[in-house]
Structure 1
């Protein structure tokens, strides 16, 4: 099956919501996402409209989706831009502009087909195209018990930094930081 990898459009909030809830229903969701199905379903439509609009244009964020020929969304990845001089989600200072990959989900029947790699390629390409200031790296966090995601990120080229943070709401669990550095051009 062929897929189109593209950014979401602001008016596609209902599909953004449906795919997010599908991701939160996945058996790996407790170690992959920091939100529950109940929390997501409790958000009003205005939340989803804002989320889609915010990830459809501008520099702050971009959500990419894989759309099947029948119009069904089968995967997604988002990149948030953390600007230098700000504080990140874990209340740590951000020293330089960087991308932060979040919300990675591919429906089970599409896993292992190369779709996740295609989504990441689109997201990382977008991050590297940003200017003023250019992003020096793209990072993500993976739960210490999420072996499937850990293996994919390493295979894609992300490297562990050694930074470990507690999972919000569960300080006994840990999130591990991985980084993909901007390629050096000659």
Structure 2
């Protein structure tokens, strides 16, 4: 199955909302999100409209989707720039692939596009791409390692379950 990886456009906010709610409802994927389905579903339209804006349009993050040949969205990845760090870096969040698109290479394609976008920024020049992976998400961690991400040793408690942890992983320029 082939995909076109592209940014979400502002007028696609309803499709973005539907995909995000599907991610939060997915029993396998929801461990990766800090937001609950109930909280997201209760957001007003203006919230989703802002979320669909790209950085070029004044948005805080870039959302990339994998669009299948039939026009459906198989998955997404969200990447934002963190300039307040020691070294400018991007932060990958909101990774989701619908169950029927898993195992097709879509997640890898989405990540490659997010990484390429990060490395292509002129200002700020991003030197690292980071993410957090839940300890129960071994499949995602294996993907990230295969893309060159390495564990930093930093951990945080899962905001939804203090007994669980998330591990930070990073990809530095030149490795991916």
TM tier, smaller: over 0.9
Per-residue CA shift, 1:121-163, capped at 9, x if unaligned? 1110000001122101000000111111111111121100000
Q: Does 1:118 align with 2:84?
A: no
SS at 1:75 equivalent: strand
Of 23-32 and 174-183, more deviation after overlay is shown by 23-32
Unmatched 5+ residue regions in structure 2?
Answer: none
Unmatched 5+ residue regions in structure 1?
Answer: 85-93
Counterpart residue number, 1:183: 174
* 1: CA distance, partners of 2:50 / 2:93: 17
* 1: CA distance, partners of 2:58 / 2:171: 22
Which 4+ residue blocks in structure 1 deviate beyond 4 angstroms?
Answer: 54-60
SS at 2:142 equivalent: helix
Q: Does 1:163 align with 2:130?
A: no
Q: Does 1:127 align with 2:130?
A: no
Report deviation, 1:170.
2.8
Counterpart residue number, 2:76: 76
**Aligned Cα RMSD in Å?**
1.7
Report deviation, 1:59.
8.1
| Residues 16, 52 of structure 1: 8 Å contact kept | yes
CA pair 30-150 structure 1, distance change in 2 beyond 3 A: same
Per-residue CA shift, 1:82-134, capped at 9, x if unaligned? 113xxxxxxxxx22210000000011111111111111111100000011221
Paired residues, what number? 175
Report deviation, 1:58.
5.7
Counterpart residue number, 2:10: 10
Counterpart residue number, 1:32: 32
